[in-house]
């Protein structure tokens, strides 16, 4: 299917959004034991937004996040990322999309143990085939952006939770991605640390124009976003703009 | 990209130094054992060749009885001195013929005594066995014919009986008679079978027959074939002559044996070669076991690092890149093992060859083969775990605790 054909029967002639879900469903398992995680979602997110996705456990927000991050594909419906139909891509093609356009931040930080902060941040650049000097320079710059200058040589075990999450954010933005996908980034942090992380994400969104899509349980954290989408039973229950929180 | 992959592998190995070392221990031992076996075996073979060459590779030995196999021989009448003279007279291309008869006796000088091999022969023995006199003289004609009580001492006997004192002109006792030392032989060292070739006393054949054995028998005839002549032809001629002299009919089997030193050379080097091959094969099995060890640890490592693999895949690593990373890790590990093994094997071979008195022969071929084989072991046994890692689902892998 070509982009033109999609546009003709889909959203029309308006400019393509960064993310476009059309009737996305996701079914786990088969037959009687099957479970419908998403029941036909339509969703558009354009570049530069700061979106918070909320909802109770099992509402489908994690499944939605996996599909957004090209880690999973819809059972039916269409997911277009930057105009590319992700459903039709191979595993490796989806990996290339992640490598070039997406950054990930997880609840559990997911840094490599016994590896210095600098090496952790360098990792995505390694897969891009950047030279050693470029890797080093960009990793230092990313660590500086998250306020961790001077901590380059420390391994995750030597850093606090908040610092580890900052390293993870540095790793996500070191490739200058189009979108930053954050899955409960403050889930393991206390309130003060959580605020710092949220302010960092807000700054990245406002100053660098990085689209941020964040899953969270906490209303306080969602308040930082410019748009809040609530999931319920595999459907979008509400989708409202939010003023955002000035820091 | 491959440079980055090797960098990743090296970081990974560095993160787990102790485990990496234990992983490659099997390869270290395997490579080390194979190279040591082949090097020592090569040295032993070379030594056998050198010693036989020093003995004279163009030597034939005629002995009584038919060799049936190792250690077996049928008994038959011994030779007489006339047999040796007949060979000397009738066979062409012969450089020297020596009738030899030996017995183990105790040699005594003063309060020193030493059990040694007493050889009854004549001066031609020195030529046939490529021995040289260091000092003194060989037997003169009168001593040879008259069976005089004179002797030549091998280096070992001289040392045991006289130490550093002058032996020439002294008398030693052999059994019930005493004889005068008229010459000392140059040392020849150990034989290929580990025998001391300098542990002997040479006396004239007549003296031996009269005072030791009490009969006219000669147990061996040693023949040196002229340089450049065919030992095969000389051997056949001698066999024909001896059959005639021993009155064997056409249907009778030989009751004597003509041994060619070349055959003995081939037999001995053949034995060491087979032994080397066998030991190397056993060592190669340990290399295989080492490979299985690598696979085992790599599989454990994949399970243990499931989350890490998930992170890499989420960040945008391709299946191929994860596969390459784990494969390179296995190959780098096993090659490290190979290198350490080579180093240990060379050090061990130098030491062992000194202890075993075997020349150290560096065999570059086996070092290269062992190294390449260790890398190959990494590829073969690393592939399955690497594939397992590459095929992981990033969502599941990220949730793995």
On average, the pLDDT of chain A sits at 89
Domain count, chain A: 1
Report whether pLDDT(A33) > 90: no
**Cβ of B394 and A71 within 8 Å?**
yes
> Domain residues for B294?
2-51+266-399
Q: What is the helix (H) or strand (E) element at residue B225, kind and residue range?
A: strand B220-225
Q: How confident is the model at residue A15 (pLDDT cuts 50, 70, 90)?
A: low
**Tens of pLDDT, residues A121-138:** 999 998 888 888 999 999
Q: What is the pLDDT, as a whole number, of residue A9?
A: 44
Q: Is residue B59 part of a domain?
A: no
What's the CA gap between B367 and B346, in Å, rounded? 9
B391–A contact, CB cutoff 8 A: no
Shortest CB distance from A95 goes to which of B8, B308, B318?
A: B318
Query: Phi and psi dihedrals of A204, rounded to 5?
Result: -60, -40
Do residues A200 and A146 lie in contact, with contact meaning Cβ atoms separated by under 8 Å? yes
Closest by Cβ to B319, choosing from A91, A110, A119: A91
Does pLDDT of B303 surpass 80?
yes
Does the beta-carbon distance from B321 to A66 stay under 8 Å? Answer: no
Average the pLDDT over each of B163-167, B235-239, B261-265 and give the range with the smallest value: B261-265
**Contact, B191 vs B55, CB < 8 A?**
yes
What are the tens digits of pLDDT across the range B5-18?
A: 787 778 778 878 88
Quickly tell me which residue has 């989420």 as its tokens.
B314
Residue A237: domain span: 3-241
In this structure, the answer to whether residues B158 and B226 fall within a common structural domain is: yes
Please count the residue pairs, one from chain A and one from chain B, whose beta carbons lie less than 8 angstroms apart: 61
Whether B57 maps to a domain, the answer reads no
Mark whether B121 and B163 lie in a shared domain: yes
Interfacial residues of A (vs B; Cβ cutoff 8 Å): 66, 69, 71-72, 91-92, 95-100, 102, 104, 106, 110-115, 119, 123-124, 126-129, 171
User: Are residues B250 and B276 located together in one domain of the fold?
Assistant: no
| Interface check B397 vs A, CB under 8 A | no
Neighbouring CB atoms inside 10 A of A150's CB total 9
The reported pLDDT for the residue numbered B55 is 65
What is the token pair recorded at A188?
């393991």
pLDDT > 90? residue B64: no
Instruction: State which of B254, B279, B312 marks the end of a domain.
Output: B254
Closest CA to B40 of B360, B392, B383: B360
Chain A residue with minimum CA distance to B400:
A110
Residue A88 pLDDT greater than 80, yes or no = yes
Statement to judge: residues B117 and B237 lie in one domain: yes
The residue of A127, A129, A142, A168 whose CB has the most chain B CBs within 10 angstroms, and thus the best one to mutate to test that interface, is A127
Determine the residue among B3, B12, B314 to mutate to test chain A binding: the one whose Cβ has the most chain A Cβ atoms within 10 Å.
Answer: B314
Instruction: Give per-residue pLDDT as tens, B78-136.
Output: 888 888 888 888 888 888 899 999 999 999 988 888 999 999 998 888 888 888 889 99
pLDDT digits (tens, 9 = 90+) for B224-251: 888 878 888 888 899 889 888 888 888 8
Select, from the ranges B29-33, B63-67, B73-77, the one with the highest average predicted confidence (pLDDT).
B29-33
Inter-chain residue contact A95 with B313, CB threshold 8 Å: yes
- pLDDT score, position A12: 45
What pLDDT score was predicted for residue B111? 86
Contact A104 B314 (CB under 8 A): yes
pLDDT value of residue A7: 41
B316 touches chain A (CB under 8 A): yes
User: Which single residue is written with the structure tokens 């570059």?
Assistant: B364
Asked if A114 and B398 come within 8 Å (Cβ–Cβ), the reply is no
Extract the tokens encoding A216.
């969270």
Is residue A22 a part of any domain in this protein? yes
pLDDT of residue B304 exceeding 90: no
Nearest CA to B25 out of B287, B391, B401 is that of B287
CATH number, domain of A22, equals: 3.40.50.300
Say if residue B192's pLDDT is above 80: no
What ipTM was predicted for this assembly? 0.88
At which of B219, B254, B289 does a domain end? B254
Confidence at A172, pLDDT banded by 50, 70, 90: very high
Number of structural domains in chain B: 2
Pick B316's closest partner by Cβ from A95, A106, A113. A95
Q: Are residues B151 and B270 in the same domain?
A: no
Has residue A13 got a pLDDT over 50? no
Q: Are residues B123 and B224 in the same domain?
A: yes
Portion of chain B with pLDDT greater than 90, in percent: 22
Task: Tell me if the pTM is above 0.90.
Answer: no
Q: Are residues B334 and B312 in the same domain?
A: yes
Q: Is B15 in contact with A91 (Cβ distance < 8 A)?
A: no
In a domain, A141, yes or no: yes
User: Residues B33-42: what's their mean pLDDT?
Assistant: 89
- Domain final residue, candidates B229, B254, B279: B254
DSSP string, B306-366: HHHHHHHHHHT--HHHHHHHHHHHHHHHHHHHHHHHHHHHHHHHHHHHHHTT------HHH
Q: How far is B51 from chain A (nearest CA, A)?
A: 60
Q: Is B69 a member of any domain?
A: no
Same domain? B325 vs B279: yes
In degrees and rounded to multiples of 5, residue B80 shows phi and psi of -115, 165
Is residue B304 domain-shared with residue B376, that is, in the same domain? Answer: yes
Residues of B in contact with A97 (CB under 8 A): 316
The better pLDDT of the pair B231, A238 is held by A238
Q: What pLDDT is attached to residue A95?
A: 94
- Residue A204 has what pLDDT? 94
Task: With beta carbons under 8 A apart, name residues in chain B contacting A106.
Answer: 398
Indicate the DSSP class of residue A129.
Answer: T
Residue A247 lies in a domain: no
**Mean pLDDT within B247-275:** 83
């Amino acid at each position: 299917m070509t982009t033109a054909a999609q546009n003709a029967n889909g959203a029309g002639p308006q400019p393509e959004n960064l993310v476009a879900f059309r009737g996305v469903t996701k079914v786990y398992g088969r037959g009687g034991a099957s479970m419908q995680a998403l029941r036909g979602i339509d969703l558009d997110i354009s570049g530069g937004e700061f979106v918070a996705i909320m909802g109770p456990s099992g509402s489908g927000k994690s499944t939605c996040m996996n599909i957004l991050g090209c880690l999973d594909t819809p059972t039916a419906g269409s997911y277009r990322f930057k105009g590319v139909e992700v459903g039709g891509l191979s595993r490796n093609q989806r990996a290339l999309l992640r490598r070039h356009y997406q950054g990930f931040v997880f609840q559990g930080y997911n840094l490599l143990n016994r590896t210095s902060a600098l090496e952790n941040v360098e990792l995505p650049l390694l897969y891009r085939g950047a030279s050693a000097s470029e890797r080093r320079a960009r990793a230092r710059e990313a660590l500086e952006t998250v306020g961790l200058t001077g901590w380059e040589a420390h391994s995750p075990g030597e850093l606090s939770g908040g610092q580890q999450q900052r390293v993870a954010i540095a790793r996500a933005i070191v490739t200058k991605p189009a979108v930053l996908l954050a899955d409960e980034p403050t889930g393991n942090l206390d309130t003060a640390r959580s605020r710092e992380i949220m302010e960092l994400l807000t700054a990245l969104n406002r100053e660098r124009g990085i689209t941020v899509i964040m899953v969270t349980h906490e209303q306080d954290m969602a308040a930082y976003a410019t748009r809040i989408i609530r999931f319920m039973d595999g459907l979008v229950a509400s989708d409202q703009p939010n003023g955002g929180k000035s820091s | 990209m491959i440079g980055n992959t090797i960098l990743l592998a090296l970081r990974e190995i560095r993160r787990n130094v102790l485990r990496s070392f234990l992983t490659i221990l099997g390869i270290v031992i395997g490579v080390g054992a194979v190279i040591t076996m082949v090097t020592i075996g090569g040295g032993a073979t070379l030594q056998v060749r050198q010693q036989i060459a020093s003995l004279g590779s163009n030597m034939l030995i005629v002995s009584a009885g038919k060799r049936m196999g190792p250690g077996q021989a049928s008994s038959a009448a011994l030779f007489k001195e006339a047999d040796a003279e007949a060979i000397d007279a009738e066979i062409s291309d012969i450089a020297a013929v020596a009738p030899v008869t030996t017995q183990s006796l105790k040699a005594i000088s003063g309060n020193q005594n030493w059990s040694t091999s007493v050889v009854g022969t004549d001066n031609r023995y020195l030529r046939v066995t490529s021995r040289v006199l260091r000092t003194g003289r060989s037997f003169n004609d009168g001593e040879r014919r008259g069976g005089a009580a004179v002797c030549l001492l091998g280096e070992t006997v001289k040392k045991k009986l006289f130490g550093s004192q002058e032996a020439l002109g002294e008398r030693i006792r052999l059994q019930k008679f005493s004889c005068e030392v008229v010459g000392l032989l140059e040392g020849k060292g150990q034989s290929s079978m580990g025998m001391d070739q300098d542990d002997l006393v040479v006396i004239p054949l007549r003296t031996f027959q009269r005072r030791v054995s009490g009969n006219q028998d000669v147990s061996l005839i040693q023949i040196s074939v002229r340089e450049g002549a065919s030992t095969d032809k000389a051997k056949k001629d001698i066999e024909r002559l001896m059959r005639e002299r021993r009155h064997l009919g056409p249907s009778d089997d030989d009751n004597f044996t003509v041994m060619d030193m070349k055959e003995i050379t081939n037999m001995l080097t053949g034995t060491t070669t087979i032994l080397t091959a066998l030991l190397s094969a056993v060592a190669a099995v340990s290399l295989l076991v080492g490979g299985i060890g690598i696979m085992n640890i790599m599989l454990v490592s994949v399970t243990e690092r499931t989350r890490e693999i998930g992170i890499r895949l989420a960040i945008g690593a391709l299946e191929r890149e994860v596969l390459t990373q784990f494969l390179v890790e296995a190959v780098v590990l096993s090659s490290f093992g190979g290198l350490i093994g080579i180093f240990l094997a060379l050090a061990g071979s130098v030491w062992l060859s000194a202890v075993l008195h075997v020349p150290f022969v560096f065999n570059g071929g086996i070092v290269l083969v062992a190294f390449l084989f260790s890398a190959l072991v990494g590829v073969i046994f690393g592939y399955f775990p690497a594939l397992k890692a590459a095929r992981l689902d990033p969502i599941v892998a990220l949730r793995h605790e």
